[in-house]
Structure 1
Amino acid sequence: MESLVLMRSEAEASGMETFEPAEPLVQTAAGRLSLHVTSDIQRIKPLWTALQAATPCTVAQTFDWGRAWSEHMLAPAGGVPAVAIGYGADGTAKFLLPFETKRLAGMTVLKWLGQDHANYSFGLFAADIAPLLTKKDLSCVLHAIARRTGAAAAYFEGQPFSWEGVPNPFALLSHQLAPNSGFAIELGDFQTLYLSRFKKRARQTLLRKERRLQEFGPLHYGWAETDEQKRAVLDTFFEQKAQQFAAMGVTDIFGPEAQGFYRDLAALPAENPSRLRLGYVALDGDILATFSGAVCHDRMCVLLSSLTSNEHQRQSPGAQLLRHQIEEACGHGLKYFDLGVGGARHKSEWSNVVYPLFDSYIALTPQGYGLTLPRAATAQLKRIIKTNPRLWALAQSIRKRINARDA
């Protein structure tokens, strides 16, 4: 990968003063770095978009993801973005760390920007610096950011150990395995992939179910293109997801702010790597299932999926749609079809790549331990439960009973 040469413009430099003047040069194993932190991300758009184009990343590390999240989710909750950029002694950008700050228990917490809805969270690092940074370097940088933002603790969740061959320097810091892993499909020839993942009987069953759906009317697989189609698919998704969450006994995370966030992403131009592509399967005009995501660096990253609750659910419309989209992705020459984080039947059926993830809960002040210790313990307990089938089934049963009682 080519080294990045991203020089700081005067406009970008002026935007760095949102928190405090620039941090003095920090000596690291990769050389001296000048650290700048800003909450005015519009001023650094040219640098961010250039960096995301040259560095392996997912949609959650792109500029418009961060911008839309800041506007629709972060601002209403009283949080602000805190994007840190490290420049080498020659003025070139070496990394960009998209963070946000939120208040919790009277203290400021540092998180990855938009990590609550992201599959994978990490920073953008130039290839020539990522392997060189040490644990001491990362700790020094992180504490410098804490001094600028007033953060007492950091909650960094859903981080991969590496991405597309580039090591994640944050894995050098104190961490624990995350409750969930990420699942993806390395693509190629579709027929070879399909035959390797599904036995003949499973393929015949899926084909038979598709034919049964077609007996009820025209079956159409597609992507929303017009504003009207986008509204229809998103409205259906939010409705279907609310029903799914209610049946599972969990809180619906797609409130008005989250809906605004995803509608913003869906309205972006087609060539934008942050654009939410809305996929669906419809029977005689009635949307039965959705799989939606963004294409970034030859990877389709699934962000949203939902399924009808009507009688056609028995014919597996979601599985039909997923098969169709994966075949299409193979035909378009994409490298990966990423199904995201968390276990599910369709992920275990299709995935030939699993990404172990880690979480870091780091106290940045003595008071910060009051936040990080219970958070880390809770996450560890969640992992124990989720990785034990009996405990996970019991937890789901208890949750449904509690929600049914409170309804």
Structure 2
Amino acid sequence: MEQSRPETTMDRISLDVFSSFEAARADWEVLFANAPASAYQSFGFARDWFETFGRARGLTPMIVVARHGDGARPLALLALARSRLGPLPIAQFLGGKESNFNLGLFAADMRLDAEALRALLRRAARVGGVDLYRLGNQPQAFEGVANPLALPGSSASPSFAYGTSLPATAGELDARFSADARKKLRKKQARLEKMGALVFEHGATGARAREILEALLAQKAERLQDPSFASGAMRDFVLGLCGGALEVHALTLDARIIATYAGFTHRGRFSAMLNSFVAEEEIARSSPGDLLLHSLLRDLLSRGVARFDLGVGEARYKNAVCDETIALVDTLVPATLLGALAAPALSALIRAKRAVKQNPRLLAKLTELRRLAR
């Protein structure tokens, strides 16, 4: 059951708007240690994303901190970036599409109702110089607590996220899959084992983690025909996170990396951020990615991890292992008259994008057009 927060007003709430990560770091770490949050709300993730993606896109940090009076402990922190939508200056979450869940950080005793939160955002907009907030891909609740920023009037995000609770034992995990599904996986694994030595690697560190991440990026670039994985911001971001909290897993065939997973573990939840497998038909037809995913689930279970998610976006393999479809919302908050005029058009664009994303035929055509345009 979701826990709600009692409603109050903006009385005596002071506001800081930081353009420096370090200036906000102390407040950030206090709130992240206790607030409902995923790994994507960590200081390190947001900072590394900005240094690779955000700065190159001309974004400016806009980190909003609310507190009960000047110098008091923080009640809320919104990790935002100032950008432009055409001529319109807007604020959106740091992390871009690399962040699968977007949330503000709120102290347990934060008592701002929807009206007060809108007023706070308008105040911050005057300091940050934005006309509109576009707060996308927000879960309506997280860790059983209602998300205060999923304000009334929010629109359904274009895509869902997918997750599941992990059982206590491997036997219970196996029972979630049909006998036919388990038989098919065993046959695929046996087929690969006939080709060479098959090894599952979990929690690689140091140079080995980097080697696996290099393979992940190369496999993504080849299979998706997307050179952005081979160089530039994505490569710098992924390899930069290697030295931090990014957890790396691989399946090898005769020491060759044929499938990978990378993600984060935070408070008993593993969030998968990236995965890959080799494009060669002889290997790919044995579903090395699925085999590694099932091995990863067993590894997480053995470590006592209770929750698992595969992030935003529809895919067959997600439905195969996740029994929870997580509805996300996009929240638009106009801060000026110009923002209020622009919001209906942007809302219509979000609805149109959702219509495409939830129509498999339209999505397939769009994906092909994007591939051809590269």
Whether the TM-score (by the shorter chain) exceeds 0.5 is yes
User: Is residue 154 of structure 1 aligned with residue 133 of structure 2?
Assistant: yes
Contact 1:115 1:121 in 2 (8 A): no
Q: Indicate whether 1:323 and 2:294 are aligned.
A: yes
Alignment correspondent of 1:95 = 76
Equivalences for 1:162-201 in 2 at 5 Å?
162-201=141-180
RMSD: 2.2
SS of equivalent residue, structure 1 residue 141: helix
Partner residue, 2:199: 220
Residue identity in the other structure for 2:88: M
Distance (Å, rounded) in 2 between the aligned partners of 1:57 and 1:146: 24
Instruction: Quote the residue 1:49 is aligned against.
Output: 29
Code of the residue aligned with 1:387 in structure 2: it is Q
CA 331–400 in structure 1, closer or farther in 2 if over 3 Å, else same: same
Q: Which runs of 5+ in 2 are unaligned?
A: 1-6
Which of 251, 256, 261 is residue 232 of structure 2 equivalent to? Answer: 256
CA distance in 1 between counterparts of 2:148 and 2:159 reads 20
The CA distance in 1 between the partners of 2:229 and 2:211, in whole Å, is: 19
Greater alpha carbon shift after TM alignment, 37-46 vs 291-300: 37-46
User: Is 1:300 paired with 2:281?
Assistant: no
2:43 is the counterpart of 1:63: yes
Tell me if 1:136 matches 2:115: yes
CA distance, structure 1, for counterparts of residue 369 and residue 125 of structure 2:
42
Q: 2: distance between equivalents of 1:253 and 1:178?
A: 25
What are the superposed Cα offsets for residues 53-82 of structure 1, whole Å, 9 maximum, x if unpaired? 112211111010111112111112221211
Which shows bigger deviation, 165-174 or 306-315? Answer: 165-174
- 1:121 CA drift (Å): 0.2
CA contact (8 A) 2:218 2:229 kept: no
Contact 1:115 1:157 in 2 (8 A): no
1:107: which partner in 2?
88
User: Letter of the aligned partner of 1:337 in structure 2?
Assistant: F
Contact 1:96–1:123 (Cα < 8 Å) also in 2:
yes
Q: What is the TM-score with the length of structure 1 in the denominator?
A: 0.84
Identity of aligned residues (%): 28
Structure 1 unpaired stretches of 5+: 1-26, 269-274
| Alpha-carbon spacing, 1:397–1:251, altered in 2? closer, same or farther (3 Å) | farther
CA drift of 1:370 comes to 5.8
Q: Distance in 1 between matches of 2:123 and 2:166?
A: 41
Q: Does structure 1 conserve the Cα–Cα contact (< 8 Å) formed by 2:229 and 2:235? A: no
The Cα of 1:116 is off from its aligned counterpart by 2.5
The answer for the alignment partner of 2:243 in structure 1 is 267
User: What's the counterpart of residue 211 of structure 2?
Assistant: 232
